C-alpha cells in the first residue's frame, strides 16, 4: 500500500475516533464490552429504528425512510449469518414512529403511528397490516408493544386528536382478544403518554410508564383486571435535581427485574435517571449527567432510553446524549457508563437496544454521516484497566 494511502486511512481513523468514537476500523474495547458495527441498509434517510432478537438469536429491525413518501421497512439477519435482508412493508405514511417485538414463535410484529395506529405482523407465511382503532382519531409520536407468552399482543400509543379532530392528548391501550382489538384509555389527564413503555407482569396484566405534561411528571400505571391504577413516580415536586421545574419522564423504559421489582430508565432535562420500586415507594437515582445539558437535546425524538437484563439479572441501559449513543450497566457495585458512538454534531440517532441469551448487546441506529441504518454489536470482554476512558464513567448507587 502506498504511504499516502496509509496516511489517509490513519487520519480517517484518528479523526473519526476523536470526533465520534466511530468503531474505526471495526472494533474498540471498553469497560467490559467490545463493539463492532454492521451496515443494514444504505438508504440515506433512515429514522426511528427499533430492534428485537428472538430466542434463536435472529435479529429483527423495524425502521422508517423517506422513500415513497414515508416507508416502513423490516430487516432480518439470522444468527448464523452476516447477511442482512430488507423488505418494504408500507408506504405513503409521512413521518412516523415504529416499534418491533417478536412473539414466542419468533415472528416479528410492529406497531407504528402514521397519524393512526397501525399493526404489521408476520404469521410465518405472510405479512398482514391492520388498523387497530380505525376512525377513532389521530395517533402520533411513540407507540409501544409487548406480546404475551400465549401470543396475545398489547399496544399503547399517544392519541393527539379525537375522531372529530378535537384535542385528545391521552395514552391509549389495545389488546387483541377473541379476534378483535379491545381499546381503552389509560389516563384521561391532559398530555399523558407522548413517551411510553409497556411490560406484562407474571399474571399477564399490562404495566405501563409514561410522561405527563405540563406537570412534567413520570407516571406508572397497571391494569388490575378491572381498571387502570395510576400513580406518580417522579415530578419536579418530588425531586429538586436539575433545572428548577424541569420535566421528568421523557424516553422512559419499563422493566421487571429478577427481584420482581419494577424499574424505569428515563430523562429529566439534564440527566438519565433510574427508578426502582420498593413497596409503594420509588428509589430514584442519577445514572449519568448528560454532557449536552438541556439546551441541545433537540426535539422529542432525541430522548431515547431502553432497558434490558443480562443473564445474571444485571440491568443495561442504552440511551442518547445530544447525538452520542451510550451504554450504562450495573456491574454489581456501581453504574458504569460507556460511550458506544460519540456525538458528531447531528443529534438524531434514532437508536434502540436489545440483548440476546448470550448477553450480546445490539443497538440499531442511524449513521449521521450517511443516513444509513447500522447495528452496533457489543460483546462482553474481560474487565480491562484503562487510562483516558475512565473519564467517561461515573458511579451510581445500587438499583
* pLDDT given for residue 5 in this prediction: 38
Confidence of residue 15 (pLDDT cuts 50, 70, 90): very low
pLDDT at 103 over 80: yes
pLDDT at 311: 94
Task: Please compute the mean of the pLDDT values over residues 345-374 and round it to a whole number.
Answer: 95
When pLDDT is averaged across residues 93-119 and rounded to a whole number, the result is 98
352 with 51: CB under 8 angstroms?
Answer: yes
d(CA 364, CA 57): 15
In the numeric block, which cell numbers belong to residue 169?
392528548
Give bridge partners of residue 149 from the DSSP assignment. Answer: none
**pTM given for the model:** 0.88
One-letter-per-residue 3-state SS of 37-59: EEEEECCCCCEEEEEEECCCCCE
Q: In this predicted structure, what is the pLDDT of residue 336?
A: 95
Retrieve residue 236's grid coordinates: 419536579
Lowest mean pLDDT among 85-94, 115-124, 228-237, 297-306: 297-306
Number of H-type helices and E-type strands within the chain: 1, 29
Question: What's the confidence (pLDDT) of residue 241?
Answer: 58
Give residues with Cβ within 8 angstroms of 380, minimum separation 6: 32, 33, 359, 360
DSSP type of residue 391: G
**Mean pLDDT value of segment 229-258:** 86
Structural domain boundaries in the chain: 32-392
CATH architecture of the domain with residue range 32-392: 6 Propeller (2.120)
Distance CA 34, CA 20 (A): 16
Interval 383-396: pLDDT, tens:
443 333 333 343 33
Amino acid at each position: 500500500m502506498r504511504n499516502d494511502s496509509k496516511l489517509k486511512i490513519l487520519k480517517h481513523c484518528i479523526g473519526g475516533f476523536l470526533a465520534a468514537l466511530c468503531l474505526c476500523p471495526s472494533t474498540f474495547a471498553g469497560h467490559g464490552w467490545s463493539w463492532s458495527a454492521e451496515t443494514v441498509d444504505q438508504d440515506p434517510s433512515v429514522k426511528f429504528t427499533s430492534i428485537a432478537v428472538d430466542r434463536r438469536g435472529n435479529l429483527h429491525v423495524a425502521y422508517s425512510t423517506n422513500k415513497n413518501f414515508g416507508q416502513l421497512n423490516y430487516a432480518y439477519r439470522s444468527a448464523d449469518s452476516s447477511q442482512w435482508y430488507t423488505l418494504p412493508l408500507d408506504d405513503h405514511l409521512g413521518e412516523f414512529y415504529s416499534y418491533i417485538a417478536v412473539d414466542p414463535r419468533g415472528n416479528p410484529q410492529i406497531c407504528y403511528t402514521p397519524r393512526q395506529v397501525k399493526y404489521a405482523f408476520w404469521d410465518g407465511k405472510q405479512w398482514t397490516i391492520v388498523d387497530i382503532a380505525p376512525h377513532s382519531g389521530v395517533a402520533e409520536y411513540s407507540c409501544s408493544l409487548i406480546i404475551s407468552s400465549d401470543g396475545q399482543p398489547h399496544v399503547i400509543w399517544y392519541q393527539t386528536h379525537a375522531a372529530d379532530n378535537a384535542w385528545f392528548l391521552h395514552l391509549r391501550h389495545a389488546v387483541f382478544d377473541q379476534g378483535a382489538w379491545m381499546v381503552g384509555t389509560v389516563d384521561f389527564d391532559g398530555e399523558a403518554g407522548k413517551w411510553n413503555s409497556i411490560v406484562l407482569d407474571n399474571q399477564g396484566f399490562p404495566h405501563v410508564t409514561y410522561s405527563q405534561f405540563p406537570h412534567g411528571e413520570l407516571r406508572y400505571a397497571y391494569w388490575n383486571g378491572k381498571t387502570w391504577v395510576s400513580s406518580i413516580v417522579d415530578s419536579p415536586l418530588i425531586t429538586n435535581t436539575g433545572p428548577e421545574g424541569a420535566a421528568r419522564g421523557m424516553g422512559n423504559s419499563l422493566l421487571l427485574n429478577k427481584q420482581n421489582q419494577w424499574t424505569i430508565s428515563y430523562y429529566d432535562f439534564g440527566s438519565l435517571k433510574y427508578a426502582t420500586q420498593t413497596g409503594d415507594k420509588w428509589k430514584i437515582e442519577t445514572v449519568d449527567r448528560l454532557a449536552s445539558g438541556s439546551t441541545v437535546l433537540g426535539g422529542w425524538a432525541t430522548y431515547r432510553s431502553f432497558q434490558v437484563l443480562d443473564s445474571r439479572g444485571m440491568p443495561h441501559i442504552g440511551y442518547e446524549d445530544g447525538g452520542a449513543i451510550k451504554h450504562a450497566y450495573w456491574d454489581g457495585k456501581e453504574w458504569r457508563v460507556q460511550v458506544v458512538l460519540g456525538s458528531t454534531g447531528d443529534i438524531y440517532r434514532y437508536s434502540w437496544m436489545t440483548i440476546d441469551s448470550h448477553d450480546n448487546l445490539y443497538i440499531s441506529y442511524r449513521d449521521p454521516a450517511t443516513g444509513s441504518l447500522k447495528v452496533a454489536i457489543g460483546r462482553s470482554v474481560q474487565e480491562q484497566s484503562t487510562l483516558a476512558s475512565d473519564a467517561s464513567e461515573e458511579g451510581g448507587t445500587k438499583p
